Amino acid sequence: MKSPIHNDQYFYVIPEDVNNRQSVILRGEEAFHCTKVLRKKAGDRFFAVDGSGNEYLVELEEAHKDTVTCHILDSKTRPTELSSDITLAQALIKNDHFDLVVEKCTELGVNTIIPLETERSLADPGKNKFHRWQKIMLSSMKQSRRSVLPRLNEVTPLDELVEKSNHYDVKIIFHEKSDRPVFDFTKNIIMSGTKILVLVGPEGGFTESEHRTAVSHDFISLSLGRRRLRAETAAISAIGIFSNLYTPQNT
């Protein structure tokens, strides 16, 4: 009798360590967590995701010093991913608040996060914050049972992003002065496969000229209601709306 899946833990395997859909090799922290922390052993079953949309149901075959070999029992493609590709460009805000945006928007299905530099955003927090956010994305992907590891882009100035934004199908700037509610707009954009770019400002908000620049580059200015939300609240609730709009029906 094969052992059941232990509360379906998820581990990350780099695509190079998936061998012709027969076996996977966990390494480093993933291997350590699997055998030393969770004390998994031969015969145990769990999931391995490669960050590129593949989820593998695997059975532990052999644990070595710092690798774990598992054979693949079954595989699925993007079982929990959204049907559209969402990018959030979030102006740099206090680090722990940005941490929250990264974790919650990863859970909600965002595929790319672009830390945005605007006139009122906080300074670029530097490389080790960047790596910290990547680690948060990795753990949030596994926790939420996603198979896609979101991309974290370099800090990008707003003007540069706006100038190079015409490959997106839908471009939205969330602005507290907008009087156009999201649902007034989303009812006619629910097409799967769309590339959506969402802009959310810093604690001090977008300047009027930043807002004008975005609108002049076909960004649609939408409201999240009459209350003034913190940037992280605006980002998480906005991505939450799109997450539900783009959850494939056949889940």
Using CB under 6 A, pick the residue from 71, 229, 240, 241 that binds ligand SAH.
Answer: 229
From the list 175, 196, 198, 243, which residue makes contact with ligand SAH (rule: CB under 6 A)? 175
Sole binder of ligand SAH in the list 141, 197, 231, 245 (CB under 6 A): 231
E strand or H helix at 234, and its extent?
helix 231-245
Stretch that binds ligand SAH, among 8-16, 23-31, 131-139, 220-228 (CB under 6 A): 220-228
Q: Which region among 106-114, 134-142, 155-163, 203-211 touches ligand SAH (by CB under 6 A)?
A: 203-211
- For position 225 contacting ligand SAH by CB under 6 A, the verdict is yes
CB of 143 to ligand SAH, least distance (A): 26
Return the closest-CA partner of residue 235 out of 189, 208, 203. Answer: 203
Min CB(83)–ligand SAH separation in Å = 24
CA 96 to CA 117: how far, in whole Å? 17
What's the token pair of residue 88? 């959030």
Can residue 5 be called a binding residue for ligand SAH (CB under 6 A)? no
- Candidates 10, 174, 219, 242; binder of ligand SAH (CB under 6 A) is 174
Nearest Cα residue to 155 out of 95, 208, 205, 211: 95
The answer to whether residues 46 and 6 touch, using CB atoms and an 8 Å cutoff, is yes
Residue 2 DSSP class:
P
Length of the chain: 251
Q: In the structure encoding, which two tokens stand for residue 82, read together?
A: 């959204």
Binding of residue 228 to ligand SAH (CB under 6 A) = yes
- By CB under 6 A, how many residues form the interface with ligand SAH? 16
**223: contact with ligand SAH by CB under 6 A:** yes
β-strands 5-12, 45-49: how paired? parallel
Six token digits for residue 99: 């941490």
The yes or no reply on residue 211 touching ligand SAH (CB under 6 A) is no
The residue type of 104 is K
SS3 182: helix
Tell me if 102 contacts ligand SAH by CB under 6 A.
no
Residues at the contact surface with ligand SAH, assessed by CB under 6 A: 174-176, 200-201, 204-206, 223-225, 227-229, 231, 234
